[in-house]
């Protein structure tokens, strides 16, 4: 989808192409790179690429590697310059960008090592200026960058040019923003381990490239993309300076495009087809914009906000308002598994069959409770046959400190002669923890113990919500055990495990998450695995009869127009859910939430979750609830 009409061009100041998937976008960008490399090769000239790190370009690099292996694309004539490097890390550190590039690209193609450049993160502070200057000089000596690949940080940074970076800046030592450090916390197994400084090319260095492609995937990037593409150039969002570049293109997926005006409010940029979905989206937006409840919207509200043609089609505001009021009202139900024996013509879930086999998929322990703890409780107390399947162990998100606590307990029990075992496993893990230091990778034993910690938290949490432990299923999908955050690859074994679970349960309803996330995130991979498994069994009778409900994580709840089922919670139910969240002690300092909400960690968010949705329903003139858990109905494309 391309921006075409002039209204759009006025709003969108950078050519932005929206693709169905990250893979599709990466194929386009990889082809542009390959074409340039081949053209230059034919002219006997080298190609100079500016490269980025982070999860965003990983699929692009996988595509380039595929082209090298299958289409004889050679990198022998390519010179590369990376955008940035953490300060203080040497090139072998597992989180250094030099190491990242080796793992993700350099070691898999025929690039000459001497042609690859990554800023030196280990340079002495006094020598940093000279080193940065030399980096700029090396780019100039190579003839300048032909194609620069960029991701974007949620602060609006490109490279590590944090807010405050001007358009003339060059390669230099910078201090990282606290949000950037929080976003990197999982990679470094804790925010405290994330370096405070980095060396980065400047905005000016980036603007000097002859062509720029910025890539972005997932709803987490939607806000910063909209502000970068549609906002005024500002140092507060350094990526906005790309508006000044004559040959810059954004290649993004649908989720990352979600807040561009043409997607979020298309009626503001041109005529739209007033389908029921579009009408719902527009009228709920209008209520939010005017601060009115649905039944108080008047004709002028519609006509003054780009929706006059809706009234032409549908009559008076009064009729549209009532229609939308009823539609929204019908999303509310206290019976997420359907209400047995009731008329279900206006309810989100069917009354029959009862009881239902309900499957809740949680990418890591806690995702389930966070987004749908109240619903879990209701499904159980209303007599449905609930299974909660934890797709991964989530062991990478357990701080070492919690393992130390567990091994102290084991040693004390063993040494006191009470546990019936010796202390050798605990001592082994103790030695391994010592040996790995803060940055080393966890051994299999450490990961195992961390996984057990999360299991016991999941059980405690389920008990709080009235879900008995025999309803919990720990899948421990293999992809997670083999990888690190941002570097996972889902394989056939994962799909087979999911398929086996589905075949054995034959659920009537599935609650899942991960749709629209960054494609390399754990929830997105888990969702992809579910889709692949569902595709394999798409002809089974139970699949035809199964409803899939999507939930979303903290700070990213569904917008009102997307909600198909809203499950209200009373103050007591809400408090109970929070107690369920608190059982996940190892997650107390994990960061979560969106940039706008400025939430710091999982605990801070617990009291906010689901309340915004309740407040919105109240403001629309519907009932005033304490909290609402919300779901969107989804049909897989077969």
Please, are residues 568 and 334 in contact by the beta-carbon 8 Å criterion?
yes
- Pick the closer one to ligand GLP by CB: 153 or 554: 153
Question: Counting contacts by CB under 6 A, is residue 533 touching ligand GLP?
Answer: no
Which positions from 172 through 191 interact with ligand GLP, judged by CB under 6 A?
180
Query: Residue 551 and residue 486: Cα distance in Å, rounded?
Result: 22
Contact 82, 176 (CB under 8 A): no
Residue among 50, 159, 195, 523 that touches ligand GLP (CB under 6 A): 159
CB of 179 to ligand GLP, least distance (A): 10
Region of 38-46, 47-55, 355-363, 625-633 interacting with ligand GLP (CB under 6 A)? 47-55
User: Under the criterion CB under 6 A, does residue 153 sit at the interface with ligand GLP?
Assistant: yes
Interface segment toward ligand GLP; rule CB under 6 A; list 50-58, 418-426, 538-546, 585-593: 50-58
* Contact pick of 36, 48, 78, 83 for ligand GLP (by CB under 6 A): 83
Pick the closest to residue 183 from 151, 210, 215, 212 (CA basis): 151
Which among 153-161, 282-290, 456-464, 494-502 is the span making contact with ligand GLP, rule CB under 6 A?
153-161
Report the distance separating Cα 200 and Cα 205, nearest Å: 10
Of 151-159, 302-310, 356-364, 571-579, the segment contacting ligand GLP by CB under 6 A is: 151-159
Contact between 266 and ligand GLP by CB under 6 A: the answer reads no
Among 53, 161, 321, 513, binds ligand GLP (CB under 6 A): 53
CA 84 to chain centre: 23
Quick check: 146 and 43 in contact, CB under 8 A?
A: no
How many Cβ atoms from other residues are within 10 Å of residue 271's Cβ?
10
Give the span between the Cα atoms of 392 and 395, in whole angstroms: 8
Residue 86 near ligand GLP by CB under 6 A: no
Structure-token match 């919500």, residue found: 465
Among 25, 48, 51, 52, binds ligand GLP (CB under 6 A): 52
420 bridge partner residues: none
Within residues 471-510, the interface with ligand GLP by CB under 6 A covers: 486
Q: Quick one: tokens of 432? A: 């391994």
Query: How far is C-alpha 414 from the geometric centre of its chain's CA atoms?
Result: 42
Rg of the Cα trace of the chain?
Answer: 26
Task: State yes or no: residue 152 binds ligand GLP (CB under 6 A).
Answer: yes
List 12, 63, 162, 364, catalytic entry: 162
Joined tokens for residue 82: 């990376």
Alpha carbon separation from 53 to 32, 100, 133 (Å, rounded): 19, 7, 21
Binding-site member from 84, 191, 230, 301 for ligand GLP (CB under 6 A): 84
Minimum distance from residue 84 beta carbon to ligand GLP (Å): 5
Closer Cβ to ligand GLP, 251 or 566, answer by number: 251
> Is residue 348 within 8 Å of residue 330, measured between CB atoms?
yes
Known catalytic residue at 162: yes
Q: Which residue among 54, 156, 195, 593 contacts ligand GLP (CB under 6 A)?
A: 54
SS3 47: strand
Residues assigned a catalytic role: 162
Binding residues vs ligand GLP (CB under 6 A): 52-56, 83-84, 151-153, 159-160, 180, 486
């Amino acid at each position: 989808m391309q921006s075409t009409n002039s209204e759009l061009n006025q709003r969108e100041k950078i050519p932005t192409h929206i693709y169905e998937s990250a893979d599709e976008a990466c194929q386009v960008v990889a082809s542009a790179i390959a074409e340039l490399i081949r053209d230059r090769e034919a002219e006997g000239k080298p190609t100079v690429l500016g490269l980025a790190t982070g999860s965003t370009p990983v699929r692009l690099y996988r595509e380039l590697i595929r082209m090298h292996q299958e289409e004889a694309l050679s990198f022998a004539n390519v010179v590369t310059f990376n955008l940035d490097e953490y300060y203080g890390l040497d090139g072998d550190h597992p989180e250094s960008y030099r190491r990242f590039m080796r793992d993700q690209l350099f070691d898999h193609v025929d690039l000459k090592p001497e042609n690859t450049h990554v800023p030196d993160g280990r340079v002495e502070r006094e020598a940093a200026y000279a080193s940065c200057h030399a980096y700029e000089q090396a780019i100039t000596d190579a003839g300048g960058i032909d194609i620069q690949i960029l991701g974007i940080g949620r602060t609006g940074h490109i490279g590590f040019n944090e807010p405050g970076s001007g358009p003339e800046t060059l390669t230099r030592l910078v201090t990282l923003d606290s949000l950037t450090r929080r976003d990197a916390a999982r990679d470094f197994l804790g925010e405290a381990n994330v370096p405070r400084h980095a060396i980065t090319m400047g905005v000016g260095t980036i603007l000097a490239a002859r062509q720029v492609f910025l890539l972005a995937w997932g709803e987490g990037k939607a806000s910063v993309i909209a502000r970068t593409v549609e906002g005024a150039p500002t140092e507060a969002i350094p990526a906005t300076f790309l508006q000044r570049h004559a040959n810059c293109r954004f290649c993004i997926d649908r989720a990352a495009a979600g807040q561009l005006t043409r997607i979020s409010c298309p009626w503001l940029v041109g005529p739209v087809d007033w389908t029921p979905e579009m009408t719902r989206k527009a009228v709920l937006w209008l209520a939010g914009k005017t601060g009115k409840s649905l039944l108080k919207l008047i004709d002028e509200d519609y006509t003054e906000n780009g929706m006059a043609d809706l009234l032409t089609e549908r009559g008076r505001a009064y009729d549209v308002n009532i229609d939308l009021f009823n539609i929204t009202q019908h999303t509310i139900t206290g019976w997420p598994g359907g209400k047995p024996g009731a008329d279900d013509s206006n309810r989100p879930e069917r009354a029959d069959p009862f009881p239902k086999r309900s499957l809740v998929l949680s990418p890591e322990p806690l995702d389930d409770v966070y987004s749908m703890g109240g619903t879990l409780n209701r499904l159980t107390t209303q007599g449905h046959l609930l299974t909660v399947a934890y797709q991964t162990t989530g062991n990478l998100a357990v701080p070492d400190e919690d393992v130390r606590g567990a091994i102290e307990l084991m040693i004390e029990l063993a040494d006191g002669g009470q546990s019936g075992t010796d202390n050798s496993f605990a001592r082994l893990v103790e030695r391994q923890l010592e040996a790995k230091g803060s940055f080393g990778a966890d051994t299999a034993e450490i990961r195992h113990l961390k996984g057990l910690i999360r299991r016991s938290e999941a059980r405690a949490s389920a008990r709080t919500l009235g879900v008995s432990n025999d309803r919990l299923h720990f899948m421990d999908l293999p992809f997670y055990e083999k990888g690190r955050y941002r570097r996972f690859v889902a394989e056939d074994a994962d799909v087979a495990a999911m398929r086996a679970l589905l075949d054995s349960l034959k659920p009537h309803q599935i609650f899942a998450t991960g749709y629209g996330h960054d494609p390399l995130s754990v929830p997105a991979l888990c969702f992809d695995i579910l889709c692949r498994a569902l595709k394999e069994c798409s002809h089974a009778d139970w699949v035809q009869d199964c409803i899939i409900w999507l939930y979303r994580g903290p700070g990213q709840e569904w917008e009102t127009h997307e909600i198909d089922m809203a499950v209200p919670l009373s103050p007591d139910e809400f408090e109970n859910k929070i107690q369920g969240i608190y059982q996940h002690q190892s997650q107390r300092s994990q960061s979560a939430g969106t940039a706008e909400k400025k939430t710091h960690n999982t605990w801070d968010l617990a009291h906010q979750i689901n309340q915004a949705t309740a407040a919105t329903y109240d403001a629309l003139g519907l009932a005033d609830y304490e909290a609402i858990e919300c779901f969107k109905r989804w049909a897989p494309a077969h």
